[in-house]
Structures are given as C-alpha cells and as structure tokens.
C-alpha cells in the first residue's frame, strides 16, 4: 500500500474525503436515488458493464469483483493512479446521461456520491468479495450466487472462465496457492455462507465487519491463515479480526489510562480503520465506549 506524505495521514482517513491513493483497494458502492431502479433491461446492465470495462483501461483501474443489482452497484477495485474520484464520476455521470436519454427522464439518477470502504487487510478483502457475490442471494433474486448473470462470481468458481477485465486472481490466491483448488474452495465458501448473508452494507454501518467475524467462525483455518500473512518489510499492524478483538481492550486501556507507545499506536490504528470504513467520529466514540473528545485526541496523537 502506498504511504501518504507526512502530515496527510489523518486527513486521508476522514469520512468526508474520498481516498484516492494509488494501490489502495476499495469497495465502491453506488445506489439509485430513493426507490428508483438503475437497470430496466439487459441493455442497461450491458451499458454499465461497458463503462466499467472502459474505465479499467482509460483510468488504469484493476477490478477484482463486480455486481450490478437492480438499484445499486458494487465494485472491488484498485487504482494505479490518483484518479479514482475522476473515474467514478465519469462512469456514473455518463451512465445517468445515457439512462435519462434512453427513457426520456429528468433529474438525478443516483442518490449522491459513491460510497467507499477501504480494504486494509486480506480478511476484509476476501470478505468484501464474498459479500459482493452473495448480494443477489441476500436480495432473494437467486438461490445460488452463480445463477445471477450480472456478477463476477463465475470468474471465481468456473474452471475455465471467460476472459474479462475483472481479475479474480489476487483474491483467489488468498484462498489457496493452487488456482483450481482456490476456485473449488471459493465455491464452497459461497455455498456455506448462503443463509449467513449479512445485513445491507448500504444501510447498516459495520455490516461487512460483522460478516467477516461470521465467516471466520465458519472457516477458522482459512482466516487464521490470512491473519498470519504479512507483507515483507511491513510493520505489524492489527488485522480486521484483531481489530474486533481489540475493541474491548481499547476501552480497558482507556479506563486504565495507559499511556505507553504501543497502546497509543493501537488506539490510533483502530480509529483510523473505523473512519476508513465509513464510521462517523460520534459513532466511533459510542462503539468504543470513549468520548468524542478522546477520538479527536487519538487521531491527533
């Protein structure tokens, strides 16, 4: 992950800013305004897919997973340049113009700017991909994730998938080093996780984090393996699973008024992760059992 220049670390994680760092993987969601549909027929879905595909070349974006739902979209991607916001604006504004022209409608198609959750570790990255592929199942559109046409699930599960601008390789490598085994295991993950579908992440803060905990209970060996993977040359930082376990410790540290450097690092990392996942500072204060003033103190320490 590319590090930001000194002095910019805190601002990069503020919820009101979009994080545009090259090399940072993000889960991007965009939804229609109100209860309006985004897609009315196959042409609409194909138009959106075409815009995503075009953006992969035009803006140098690496796509890892995609799902087009009737009234919202999910994309798991990594920009190679500092242009993510420009790329997303291009995709969604052009689609809205095409949709409005096709159906002779006026007004905003989307309900505001896109949402972004940053994948700061492998456990969250894998969980985000499973969440994306299970969206049609959770919504009751299909019984099996592979039955849904407008998603990248087939690229993850079929032995000989079609060529695509979406690359499942980096996530499948988290499941198993052998490609064929990884596809079989990923299919098993989708099957076993069916019925454990998480809350709608567009409406419930922390839904994917809670889903991650549930998946770690279903697949303890896999998630232990992921938690043990560290990039060479990087300092140890808590993974998402460690993050959930450390929340109570954070409160305990606050009650004990611990002031050592390790506790300060843990506090700041946890708060930054939560902000990067879309939590407001007031929600973080309530979630961690500390005051809003302490949240600001931790960020500025």
Most confident of 51-55, 120-124, 268-272, 291-295: 51-55
Quick check: 99 pLDDT over 50? yes
Rounded distance, CA 18 to CA 27, Å? 12
Task: pLDDT band for 247, please (50, 70, 90 cuts).
Answer: very low
Between residues 288 and 172, which one has the greater pLDDT? 172
Name the DSSP class of 167. Answer: -
Domains and CATH numbers, the chain: 9-228 (3.30.70.1290), 240-300 (no CATH)
Detail the DSSP E strand segments found in 212-279: none
Confidence (pLDDT) at 253: 47
pLDDT for residue 248 is more than 70 = no
Say yes or no to pLDDT of 180 above 60: yes
> Half-sphere exposure of residue 90, counting CA atoms within 13 Å on the CB side?
15
pLDDT in tens, 44-91: 999 999 999 999 999 999 999 999 999 999 999 999 999 999 999 999
Least confident range from 12-21, 113-122, 167-176, 211-220: namely 12-21
State the pLDDT at residue 205.
66
Residue entry with tokens 């043990």 = 228
Mean pLDDT of 177-186: 96
Cα separation, 130 vs 147, in Å, equals: 15
pLDDT at residue number 276: 63
Provide the token pair at 30. Answer: 């965009």
Residue 261, token pair as written in the block:
């450097």
> How would you list the strands of the sheet with 61-68, edge to edge?
61-68, 72-79, 26-31, 115-118
Residue-level pLDDT at 298: 84
Q: Which of 225, 241, 70 is nearest to 149 (CA)?
A: 70
- Residue 63's alpha-carbon distances to 25, 79, 80, 88, 111, in angstroms, are 9, 9, 11, 13, 23
199: confidence class by pLDDT, cuts 50, 70, 90: low
82 vs 147: CA distance, rounded Å: 36
pLDDT digits (tens, 9 = 90+) for 128-179: 999 999 999 999 999 999 999 999 999 999 988 889 999 999 999 999 999 9
């Amino acid at each position: 992950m590319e590090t930001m220049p000194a002095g910019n670390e805190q601002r990069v994680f503020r919820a009101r800013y979009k994080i545009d760092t090259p090399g940072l993987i993000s889960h991007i969601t965009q939804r229609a305004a109100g209860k309006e549909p985004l897609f009315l027929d196959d042409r609409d879905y194909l138009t959106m897919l075409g815009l995503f595909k075009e953006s992969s070349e035009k803006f140098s974006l690496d796509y890892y997973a995609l799902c087009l739902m009737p009234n919202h979209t999910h994309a798991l991607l990594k920009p190679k340049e500092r242009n993510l916001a420009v790329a997303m604006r291009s995709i969604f504004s052009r689609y809205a113009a095409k949709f409005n022209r096709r159906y002779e409608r006026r007004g905003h198609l989307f309900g505001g700017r896109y949402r972004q959750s940053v994948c700061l570790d492998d456990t969250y990255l894998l969980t985000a991909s499973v969440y994306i592929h299970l969206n049609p199942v959770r919504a009751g559109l299909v019984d099996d994730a592979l039955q849904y046409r407008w998603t990248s699930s087939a690229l993850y599960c079929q032995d000989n998938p079609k060529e695509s601008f979406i690359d499942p390789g980096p996530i499948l490598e988290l499941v198993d080093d052998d490609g064929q085994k990884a596809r079989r295991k990923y299919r098993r993950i989708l099957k076993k996780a069916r019925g454990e579908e998480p809350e709608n992440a567009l409406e419930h803060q922390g839904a994917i984090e809670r889903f991650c905990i549930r998946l770690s209970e279903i697949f303890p060996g896999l998630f232990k393996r992921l938690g043990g993977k560290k990039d060479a040359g990087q300092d140890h930082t808590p993974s998402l699973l460690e993050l959930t376990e450390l929340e109570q410790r954070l409160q305990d540290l606050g009650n004990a008024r611990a002031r050592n450097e390790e506790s300060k690092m843990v506090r700041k990392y946890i708060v930054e992760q939560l902000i990067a996942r879309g939590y407001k500072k007031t929600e973080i204060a309530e979630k961690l059992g500390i005051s809003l003033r302490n949240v600001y103190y931790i960020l500025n320490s």
